[in-house]
Structures are given as structure tokens and as C-alpha cells.
Amino acid sequence: MKNKPICTEIVKNIRLSFINLPHVKRILAALDRMHEYQCGSEEAEHIMLLGESGVGKSTLLIRYVKKHPAIEHEEFTEVPVLYVALSQSPTPKILASMLLRALGDPKWHMGKEVELTDRLIFLIKQCRVRLVIIDEANHLIDRGGEKTLHTAADWLKRVVDATRVSFVLAGIPRTRRLLATNDQLRERFREVIEIDRFSVANVPAEHEFRSVLNTFKGYLRELPTIDFSGAVLARLFAFASDGRLRDIRRLLVRAVELAYEQSNPRLTNAVLAEAFRTVIYPGSPDKRNPFHKAFDEKPLVTGDEPFSPVER
């Protein structure tokens, strides 16, 4: 490909982009506030961060973690921000092991639940952890019934109280069920921040969405393109991505790659339609492709369509 270096650079910029939107500033400010908390006679602050899959929670959190890397001292390793992303069906024992492993404990996999939990509490203090982030926390409630949910909530409450550092629980909206299970845990996580999907449902929301699309448009450099930050195409992008940042990136990355496969590179409606058909809704009929002229302008939420709702 003649223009491969340019294409590669544009794709990299889109994938690594970080847009400092109002909700991003609010979340970063909350994380900074908790990180600066000094353990004393008062209780630490905690938040629950909620948002549908693909809205950018993990990207934001990982970026924050990288700003606060581990610090090697002569006698110990300081871990200012401890981060784990849960896999499916984690028990309290598995969660304790994951946190210990993230702390660098060589015995992270050894011991019973109570032993692992006690060692975790000890090391969080020894490593001077100031903020614990548990991402994909919804997996704590995905693995069983009410008894299991109570067990997870009770374990979290114990660790939160014993360590006296700030915690962030991040996940999709149903993560809130953890707080409904344990009154004491709910009291500690009074602050719940929700990240909404982008939309064109009202004037302020449309303005923000179009501003985001315009930022992405700026990454295209000299690639000729239609104005996808305009009112008409922004609405089509809302259909095509369900307002999820991950899918906006995915769509634009593939569109750029397809554009540069042409002898005369250009990002057009036809290119966007093909990108959508490739990475968002493979095999989509024309009437269900937002960038095709036959699109019926109905949300892609039925049957096996990409944004068909699941339990939240």
C-alpha cells in the first residue's frame, strides 16, 4: 500500500485518542481526590463507576493507573494505585489472589481465602496503596444467586474497612446490585458516577457528540473525507455505534484502512457502510446499515443485531 505509513499513523492516533470530555474531567477529579486521601481518623472515600460496555471506563482507569506507577524503595515497593480487571466468575478467594498478584506477592496463589485476605490487607498497608480499582466488578454478581452476591459484598465490605484506603468499583450498570445487597457497603459507596453513551437525543447531547466526532475527524490529516461531524451523519453514527466510544473507534479505524486500500483514498458513505458491515454488524442487510441509502432508521436492538439489549 503506497500510503501505508500515513494510514498506520492515523489508525494509531484514533486508537490511542483520549478526549477530555466533561464527565472524564469529573471522574479524574474524583480519582485524584481519593488518591490524595491520607489515612487517619476519618473514613476513606469510595465511588462506583458505571457505564455500558464500550463507553470508555477501562481506558480512562488504565490511563489513570499509568500516571501513578509503582515506586521502588530500598526495602519495599510502593504501589500508589492498585488495579485489577476481574475475569468471569471470581470468588472472593480469586479476587484476593488477583490483587495479591498485582501487588507482586510471589505467594499470590497459595493459601485459603482467609489467609489470602489477611495477607492482602497487610500488603495494601505495607505497599502504601492509596487507591484500589476493581474493574469489571459486575463479574462479582454474575457467578451465582443471592447467597453468592451476599458473600462477595460482605468480603468487599471487610477489606474496605480493614485497609482504610479508597476503592473504586467499576462495571456495567448491574454492578449496582452489589450495593443493594449490603447496607453497610452501600453507605460506603454513596457516590455513583455514571457514564452515558453518546447520543443526539437533545441539543446538548448532540453538541457533545458532534464535538467528539469532529475531534476524530482531525486525526484524519490529509485524508479527504465527508463531514461526519455534521448533524446528518452524526445521527447515523449514533445508530451505527449506539453511542459507544469503542465502536466509534472501531468503525473509524476500519473506514480509514478501507479508504487507503483505494487507488484514490477517500472516506465516503460507501466506505463507512463497508466498515460497518465488516466490524460492527457482519452481513447486515442494506436496510439495517446506517450508512446505506436504504437504511430504515431504526435502532439496531432486535434479535442478533449488535446492540440488542441484555440484562443490565
Domain stop point among 176, 195, 214: 195
Dihedral of the alpha carbons of 224, 225, 227, 233, in degrees to the nearest 10: 180
Centre a 10 Å sphere on the Cβ of residue 9 and count the other Cβ atoms it contains: 12
Q: Is residue 23 part of a domain?
A: no
Give the start-end residues of each E strand in 9-90.
Answer: 46-51, 71-72, 77-78, 81-85
Using the predicted structure, report yes or no on whether residue 285 has a pLDDT greater than 90.
yes
Based on the fold, state whether residues 166 and 231 are members of the same structural domain: no
Check if the beta carbon of residue 178 is closer than 8 Å to that of residue 140.
Answer: yes
CA atoms lying within 13 Å on the CB side of residue 221: 14
Task: Look at 13-27, 239-253, 274-288 and tell me which has the smallest mean pLDDT.
Answer: 13-27
**Is 211 within 8 Å of 203 (Cβ atoms)?**
no
What pLDDT does residue 312 have?
43
Do 145 and 113 reside in the same domain of the chain?
yes
Is the confidence at residue 311, as pLDDT, over 60? no
Mean pLDDT is lowest, of 86-90, 97-101, 272-276, for 86-90
- Provide the residue range defining the domain that includes 136: 37-195
Overall number of domains in the chain:
2
- pTM, full prediction: 0.90
Model pLDDT for residues 104-140, shown as the tens digit of each residue: 999 999 999 999 999 999 999 999 999 999 999 998 8
Q: Is residue 303 part of a domain?
A: no
Residues 190 and 62 in one domain: yes
Contact 1, 260 (CB under 8 A): yes
Among 178-187, 206-215, 290-299, the least confident range: 178-187
Q: Are 297 and 311 in contact (CB under 8 A)?
A: no
Indicate whether 267 belongs to any domain.
yes
Residue 95, pLDDT > 80, answer: yes
Q: CA 302 from chain center: how many Å?
A: 24
CATH of the domain at 56: 3.40.50.300
Same domain, 185 and 62: yes
Q: Is there a single domain that holds both residue 166 and residue 49?
A: yes
Does residue 183 lie in a domain region?
Answer: yes
Contact 201, 234 (CB under 8 A): no
Average pLDDT, the chain: 92
* Domain-located, residue 15: no
Q: What is the pLDDT of residues 148-176, one digit of tens each?
A: 778 888 999 999 999 999 999 999 999 99
308 in a structural domain = no
Query: What CATH number is given to the structural domain containing 209?
Result: 1.10.8
Q: Residue range 263-274: average pLDDT?
A: 96
